[in-house]
Structure 1
Amino acid sequence: MEAAITSRDNAKIKFACAVRDSEKRRAQEGLFFAEGPKLCLELAKSCTPRMAFATAAAMAKTPMLSALNPAEIAPHVAEKLAGTKSSQDVFVLFETPAPAASVLQTAQRILALEGVQDPGNVGTLLRSAAAFGFDAVLLGAGCAAPFSPKTLRSSMGAAGRLPVVQTENLPAALQTLRSRGVTCLAAALYRSVALDEAGSDFPQGLCVVIGSEGQGLTQETIDACDLAVRIPMTDRVESLNAGVAGSVLLWQFRGV
């Protein structure tokens, strides 16, 4: 058995921290960083672990972690790896899934996001999409990275269970979906219909398109959709955040 890593300057520890902190480094290495026993074990069901670390206390508490073959680390090393205030003592670098854009040719329930910058909202929407039977996610420009530590914590690993395809031209991607009969519904206030008026039968597939709370969807993206829909609300609030509003839409058009 290898000796525990006790140096905070260990090359593997420094590498893991670099992947944790830099989206550019994550893209270069094809890896993402996850923290915590529950999240890491969940991700291991759908993603390939490349490098894992855990304290002796974490291993004793959660014996199932042995399947990840983690290197033992001292508690003060875990503190360096921790991306949160309180270390969860388990850290894994996973290979980033890279689904082909062709998954959109057969997906029947698709979530599309534009300009949703908050990792918490993106993570919430990924989790809701998985919960409500959607089978692919399309991320347009300006969205928080699906495999950043903050997004992962919010999604509880949903990005590992759903194919996530990124595009720099969301309107064009929506037009491609429509060309095969997928109905694209834009979440927007103006010139929109209430959810219960949007119908429920989408035999060729459905794409729900959601923008940020502050900016909403661009007009070009709305124009690329079949219909704009809105959530009926009282006048007590002006709007819902993207995570909440999007989750309502995903439930309304669920495929489960």
Structure 2
Amino acid sequence: MIQDCAEITSRDNARIKYACAVRDSEKQRAADGLFFAEGPKLCLELAKSCTPRAAYATRAALDKTPELAALSPVPVAPHVAEKLAGTKSSQGVFVLFATPRPPEDLLDTARRILMLEGVQDPGNVGTLLRSAAAFGFDAVVLGPGCAAPFSPKTLRSSMGAAGRLPVVRRDDLPATITALRARGVTCLAAALYRSRPLDEAGRDFPGGVCVVIGSEGQGLRDETVKACDAAVRIPMTDRVESLNAAVAGSVLLWHFRGV
């Protein structure tokens, strides 16, 4: 239902200013355990797995998508929606969600894990989260230098996958890899050098598999690669030197689906 309250018409309204702060500041999101999402499709998808804390929508958006009434949005004037919008063309729907908290023992039980190091581009991180969810992975580990999973740009690229797939941060990826290997998870680094072709890597990993991917420009650090069981590469023609991190990672995730 639409909240029974007056439409917000001031761009300086305290609730609007706060929503913008959550949208723009990773520090604010971390401190308050909230994230900002925009657009009817994304917000309705996220509402299936995340708890909405506050919602705002224009009356035109509500007329166009009646299902949004389930989020109990506060009506906002079009010029207020323009302030809330993180994109050039506002869709008139904005929601603050509670950030999901993954289980503390997540990495003690997950069998299919995606691990990223230094993937700074939100579009790449979002695409990889979406691919991980699509191909049945259980968890994602973000190492140093990775884009925030609940930033607006990452959320748009992932289509809300971070809300459905547990995501954890780890500062020491070699140590995390060592711990995973100790419980039988096979850890495979995506690397061009001293690596075997993907089709020779096999798919028989009874303890599970962790796919470790670095940025397109820098790749993985040597110590991260050395911590893994092996390094693998995607066979390619000599027409290109490398693949975009999101493309390469998605190919690897597809290859190891169902392991």
Scaled to the shorter chain, the TM-score interval is over 0.9
Answering whether residue 30 of structure 2 is matched by residue 30 of structure 1, we say no
> Which residue of the partner structure matches residue 138 of structure 1?
141
**Which stretch shifts more, 98-107 or 237-246?**
98-107
Query: Could you say which residue in structure 2 is the equivalent of 1:10?
Result: 13
CA contact (8 A) 1:50 1:93 kept: yes
Q: CA deviation at 1:104?
A: 1.1
- Uncovered stretches (5+) of structure 2, i.e. residues with no partner: none
Partners of 2:33 and 2:98 in 1: how far apart? 6
Query: Are 2:104 and 1:118 equivalent residues in the alignment?
Result: no
- Pick from 239, 245, 254 the counterpart of residue 251 of structure 1: 254
Q: Where in structure 2 are the equivalents of 1:22-171 lying within 5 Å?
A: 22-171=25-174
Equivalent AA in structure 2 for residue 133 of structure 1: G
TM-score after normalising by structure 2: 0.98
Please give the TM-score of this superposition, normalised by the length of structure 1. Answer: 0.99
Partner of 2:218: 215
Q: Secondary structure at the match of 2:5?
A: coil
Amino acid at match of 1:99: P
- Aligned-pair CA distance for 1:101: 3.7
1:15 & 1:255 partners in 2: Cα distance?
Answer: 42
Is contact 1:19-1:33 (8 Å) kept? Answer: yes
Q: Give ranges in structure 1 of 5+ residues lacking alignment.
A: none
**Does the CA-based 8 Å contact 1:43-1:160 persist in structure 2?**
yes
**Percent of pairs with identical residues:** 80
What SS is found at the alignment partner of 2:105? helix
Structure 2 letter corresponding to 1:35: E
Displacement, 1:255? 1.7
> 2:89 and 2:67 mapped to 1: Cα distance?
22
Separation (CA, whole Å) in 2 of partners of 1:67 and 1:176: 43
Structure 1 distance, partners of 2:107, 2:48, is 23
Post-superposition CA distance 1:224-255 (Å, at most 9, x none):
10000000000101111100000000001112
Deviations 1:74-120 (A, max 9, x none): 00000000000000100000001121341111111100000000000
Distance 1:164 1:63, change over 3 A: same
Matched residue type, 1:66:
A
Specify the code of the residue in structure 1 equivalent to 2:40: P
| Preserved CA contact (<8 Å) 1:100 1:165 | no
Moved runs in structure 1, 4+ residues, more than 3 A?
A: none
Q: CA separation in 1, counterparts of 2:91 and 2:219?
A: 36
User: What is the alpha-carbon distance in structure 2 between the residues aligned to residue 131 and residue 82 of structure 1?
Assistant: 28
Question: Which deviates further from its counterpart, 245-254 or 97-106?
Answer: 97-106
The code of the aligned residue for 2:160 comes to G
Q: Distance in 2 between matches of 1:215 and 1:133?
A: 27
Counterpart amino acid of residue 221 in structure 1: T
Name the SS of the counterpart of 1:113 in structure 2. strand
Q: How many residues align?
A: 256
CA distance in 1, matches of 2:103, 2:228: 23
